[in-house]
Amino acid sequence: MIDTDETKFAGSLAGKKIVLAVTASISIYRVPDLIRDLRREGADVTVGMSREAAAMINPNIMKWASENEVVTEITGYIEHISCFSGNPKDTLLMVCPASYNFIGKASSGISDDVPSLFFSFALGNGNPVLIAPVMHEGMMINPINIENLEKLRNTGVSIIPPRIHHEKAKISETEKLVDYAVRSLEGHVLRNRNVLIIGGRGEEKIDPVRNITNSGTGTTAWWLIRTAFRLGAEKIVFIGNTEHGIPDYVQFHRSSTMDQFEANTRTTLSSFSFDLVVNSASLPDYRLERSFKEKLDSSEPIELKLITGKKLNHIIRETYNGILAVFKLSREKDPNLVRINFKDVEPDLIIFNPFTDEKLPFGSVKNNYTFITRDGAIEAGYLYKPRMTWNMMLLLADKIGEKSQ
């Protein structure tokens, strides 16, 4: 058994199998952590290693991480076939790290070791195939390697872009590797869909160094971004801010003040078509009537006047009539009354979180969520954000499908 932190994992690979083929690279030291995180996400992982990889790191380490026997040679059990038993769509071949040598062999139909034999069968068997190239930058941009990667793409192989650093094409962050693995198995859910996510905390400037803001962390938005990608969204745009790193597969428009949120939302909606808009931003209900261009003298008292302004949901609905999901934090407990408060914008889904004085509803905490649709309320229960965003995105994907029929 493996420990699982529900604040970091959604269980989105439950019931799935990943055959992880490992080739020789100094990045191999990262693989045990990847295996453990894939398992924490719910996957059953079987590892196959080339002879050169097994010489770099003891296969027993991979066995410890996966809790499965490691394939280092093909025997009479025809492991390159038996490892892929079951529904091909539920088993992913992930080659990580994928060396220059492996890419050349795979693109040329050569199968002379465990990873290339795994590849030769999986590609023909209909299993999704995902590779993570790792090598020196000069080898990565070698025209032959570029041609070989393109050849693999044309056969349906997905490729994780490496992280270029100090003239080396390095293995991506483990979070990103997991995102791509989930996308390879669940990407049909939002395939060819475009998603706009708005999130983070809002602030109003008092002067150049002081703000009125709240305790929002942007954690929900960060998980919405990752979940949309995992489920296969074609284009993901994020307007807002978060304490977490923004994945490079997202188009990001940093916003913090209400003016920035409003301007970026109007521009984005007018310039591109979206199948889904999700507003999870924790924005101020008030604006300052006046802000100061110079730093205020703190030795003197000052009065600030707050005024109400137009809500971002209304701004969204001025130009967008597609599927809209909004978040609501309120002391109100009746979902029907919560729904009435949104009658002017008619969202397709309200993610409702009752506010209590026990704890702040921000960050990686478990909250009691209710999904309020146009037809009624669904008690989602007490969930951490990874699972909550997964469940809500699956629900919204169904609504997108219904609308497009």
Neighbours of 307 (CB within 10 A): 9
Q: Alpha-carbon distance 186 to 229, whole Å?
A: 10
For domain 194-404, give the fold.
Rossmann fold (3.40.50)
Whether 221 and 281 have beta carbons less than 8 Å apart is answered as: yes
Task: Say yes or no: domain 17-186 is CATH 3.40.50.1950.
Answer: yes
Once rounded to an integer, what is the mean pLDDT over residues 151-156? Answer: 97
Domain extent listing, the chain: 17-186, 194-404
Q: What is the pLDDT of residue 364?
A: 66
Domains 17-186 and 194-404 share a fold: yes
Q: What is the pLDDT of residue 361?
A: 63
Whether 90 and 60 have beta carbons less than 8 Å apart is answered as: no
Q: Alpha-carbon distance 226 to 218, whole Å?
A: 13
Whether 367 shows a pLDDT value over 80: the answer reads yes
Whether 363 shows a pLDDT value over 80: the answer reads no
Q: Alpha-carbon distance 172 to 160, whole Å?
A: 8
pLDDT one-digit tens code per residue, 11-70? 999 999 999 999 999 999 999 999 999 999 999 999 999 999 999 999 999 999 999 999
Confidence of residue 178 (pLDDT cuts 50, 70, 90): very high
What is the reported pTM? 0.94
Strand ordering across the sheet containing 135-136: 135-136, 168-170, 163-165
Q: What is the DSSP letter of 191?
A: B
Residue with tokens 């992880």: 20
- Average pLDDT value over all residues in the chain: 93
Q: Alpha-carbon distance 79 to 69, whole Å?
A: 11
